[in-house]
Amino acid sequence: MAKQRRSLSGKAAAITGGARGIGKATAEALVRRGCRVAIGDVDLALAEQTAAELGGGTIALPLDVTDRASFEAFLDEAERQLGPLDVVINNAGIMPVTPFVEEPEDSFRRQIEINLIGVIHGTQLAMARMMPRNSGHIVNIASQAGKISTPGIATYTATKHAVVGLTEAVRAELRGRAIEVSCVMPTVVNTELTAGVGQKWVKPVEATDVADAIVGALEVPRFDVYVPKANGALIRGTSLMPRAVAEWIGRAMGTDKLMTEVDHSARAAYEDRAAHSKESDRAVN
């Protein structure tokens, strides 16, 4: 029997990295469904501009996901203004593209702090609020790089594998409670994060496609959220194959070149922003 679709009208949601990209598209989709939304971002000015554009009582708050105190203050203020949070979406992240042997230490440390520790902070703090009420929905934006391994983004891939594993373990810990958990795994998304990426090898999706998938998982709860959905069957299928066969299929599809044949000049602005901020938007691969 099909699950009954849940209404999101009147729900309170908090989104990290919400000033741009997937975070902004998701906030817009939730506002259209009557949600009260708080967007957190290290770029407060841009977050305030986004909140004003979205309307619907959307609020913008400062947030550095790598700082637990900052994250807790973000959720506290969101609940003070919007009421108890029904949804927390851990979206913030960065993706430098470089051969692993050449990646500087500050780059891989920054990715671990933002992409993984930021999600750990958000998930743990959301659980602490939702468990006493025995209600809520935690959404962690991972990536299909969390299920497969792509040359050129080794550290990013490691953090996304970790987010998938973290989210699966948290789901198991919450079993028996009325708290939902979803892990969102998009392919390449047309946002600033994937500027210059060899998209001829993989058909990209739009941030609005990811936002629609997130909303769908909130309305009809499910854990695995692949964007596009068909990629889930492909990834599950290749995981059952011998490694040599699965790798051959990947090379035939060009995924081994996706993050190695990039236009670095087109990525310069994004790479510079990611390198000089503590937290940034994730478009996700």
- Region 183-209: mean pLDDT is 77
| pLDDT per residue as tens digits for the range 145-183 | 999 888 899 999 999 999 999 999 999 999 999 999 999
Q: Is the pLDDT of residue 262 over 70?
A: no
Q: Choosing from 156, 231, 283, 284, which is the catalytic residue? A: 156
Class of domain 12-275: alpha beta
3 state SS of 134: coil
Whether this prediction's pTM lies above 0.85 is answered by yes
Distance in Å from the first CA to the final CA of the chain: 33
Longest dimension (CA), the chain: 54
Element containing residue 228 per DSSP (H, E): none
| pLDDT per residue as tens digits for the range 130-147 | 999 999 999 999 999 999
- Region 60-73: mean pLDDT is 98
Q: What is the dihedral of CA 115, 156, 245, 228, to 10 degrees?
A: 60
| pLDDT per residue as tens digits for the range 208-230 | 999 999 999 999 999 999 999 99
> CA 171 from chain center: how many Å?
17
Question: Is 270 a catalytic site residue?
Answer: no
The two tokens of residue 198 are: 């060899």
Instruction: Find out whether 168 and 183 touch, Cβ atoms under 8 Å.
Output: yes
Residue, of 195 and 69, whose pLDDT is higher: 69
